[in-house]
Amino acid sequence: MNISSKLTGLALFAASSASAQNLLINSDFEAGIDSWITFNNVEVSQDIAFDGASSAKLYNPFCGGDWCGSVLEQSTSCVPGQGYDASIMTLVSSNDPFAAGSGNFLVLQVAFNDGAGNNLSVGESVQINIDSALDTWTELTVSATAPAEAATVKVVAVFVSPNGEAPNDLGAVFVDAASLEEGEATGPVCSLDELENSGFEEGFNCWDSFGNSFAASDVFSQSGTGAAQAYGEFNGAENYSGFFQDFNTATPGDTVTFSGYAYSDGSDSIAGTTNRAVIKFDWVKADGTIDYGASPEVNVTSGADPIADGVWVPITISAVVPGDAALVRPAIVFVQGVENQGGSVWFDEFTFSVNAGENPCSDETFDNGSFEDGLACWDGFGANRYASADFALDGVGSLLMYGEFSGSVNYTGLTQDFTNVEVGDELTITASGYTPSNDSVVGNNNRAVIKWDFVDAGGNVIYGASDAVLINGADAATPEDTWVENTYVANFPAEAAGGAARAVLLFVQENDEGGAVFIDSASVLINGEVPTDGGGGPGPNPCPCDLDEDTICGFGDVLAILSDWQGT
């Protein structure tokens, strides 16, 4: 699975909160969960308490997908430039410990949102995990400074799990005596307009970091004296360390580029290990959720293909901002394999830029049908849709989709709209689907289809009444490990006049059943031709009798017929 979907499990659930001297209400859970917002498996417990008679217990959310969490959070207003200090007491009981090899962990976050609810930044504590002492109250603390655009601050305790399977199915963390207070500013008020502290001359100021990543001076540097180092956490499972910054200067369709330098110290190389480091983009949506898999990552170095030792190597990645992104998040991620082998990678002198050229995405052309640019130029819905390099029919990229395990029928998909259409136009969509034998939908009710929906002049969606199946788990004849192509044709309806045609790639999960589908090599035709800016296909011929193409059906067309007849 693309590491994008698991990237910063540490920043996975950040969104909004806080203000001064315990600013939290019901901080000791003596009134249950009142004043707190929870997601997934969070409950009040009277079994264990640090202060009073109650605490909150967080454990595996068993949501069926990779890397999800149970969340306990509380928000309040904040002042830009003000520092905030958060703490919480935590305990792992010997009656419900983490299993050996578990990748579960809990962290405390302080997160900031702007007035529109957009995620701005997040500070994070160290982890409570498999290495934490049992039956001992441990305090987690984190301090962060409200960014210039911040309106609210949120304290978040999040229990993160790789999945709901062994050894991650066991273990819980009790939390109590939460606190949020105004404190000293812990760093500069950083902007979302441009990359700051590009060479780590000021430590990790203006960078968010996770795992074992550190800024250091006078060790290795490409220029100046500072650089950043990342290495594994040695926690018995695959784990992730790294750093990132967020930007609001790019809009959907813009091309963004993140570049820098990487360095391998020969005495601490990852060569020959299962470790690797990647450079990537994630996308923060307006509601604060993060799309980790929308763009392919680029390998910086790996144990199997290491960069040269002792040389600063330039690294770069470019991507097109997807339609639902509010913030751009370029990131560096060090992945330590499950073997927990040693080695580190150093980084320095980063730049971030937005392409000032023409927007490559258009509502009159079909773009990125082979997903070589991740999910760029596509709009999406549902949580579990990712760009993947695991299987591909055309090039190296494809679309991966699976269900949300929501307890009811749910839909995940991608769309592209076309405004260069007229009533009666013939619309054709073609794509290929694939379900792998190691994660197949065959034998259940999941399916992937292609279809056309429509948007009328008022923006109302008119859902198409039918579709064409790519992969149908309920059909015993559906092959595994094989690309299957299908085509669906519809006509643009009169009730959508003045609106748009919407090409749809759709995954339907009926009964919380597993399995995934990959889609690749999608294409669209309007009236049999590839749509272009300024027009679709040629459109239906309003005068089929107009053989001499003078826009009039008349005697000249009779002469044209006679001329054609005489010439044959």
pLDDT tens sequence across 310-346: 999 999 888 889 888 888 999 999 999 999 999 999 9
Query: Alpha-carbon distance 78 to 76, whole Å?
Result: 7
Q: Tens of pLDDT along 401-443?
A: 999 888 899 999 999 999 999 999 999 999 999 999 999 999 9
42-67 confidence digits (pLDDT tens): 999 999 999 899 999 999 888 765 67
Q: Compute the CA torsion angle 16, 384, 257, 325 (nearest 10 deg).
A: -50
pLDDT of residue 146: 87
- Region 376-394: mean pLDDT is 85
More confident residue, 479 or 248: 479
Tokens 């002042």 identify what position?
79
- Most confident among 139-148, 283-292, 355-364, 412-421 (mean pLDDT): 412-421
Peptide bond preceding 167: is omega within 30 degrees of 0, i.e. cis?
yes
Measure CA 339 to chain center: 26
> What integer is the mean pLDDT of 511-521?
95
Dump pLDDT digits (tens) for 14-32: 333 333 589 999 999 999 9
Q: How far apart are the first and last CA of the chain?
A: 62
Domains of the chain: 3-183 (2.60.120.260), 208-354 (2.60.120.260), 379-526 (2.60.120.260), 543-568 (no CATH)
CA atoms within 13 A on the CB side of 501: 29
The answer to whether the Cα torsion of 309, 312, 313, 317 is positive or negative is positive
> Please, what is the Cα angle at 404 between 403 and 410, to 5 degrees?
75
pLDDT for residue 283 is more than 60: yes
SS3 percent helix, strand, coil of the chain, rounded to 5, is: 5, 40, 55
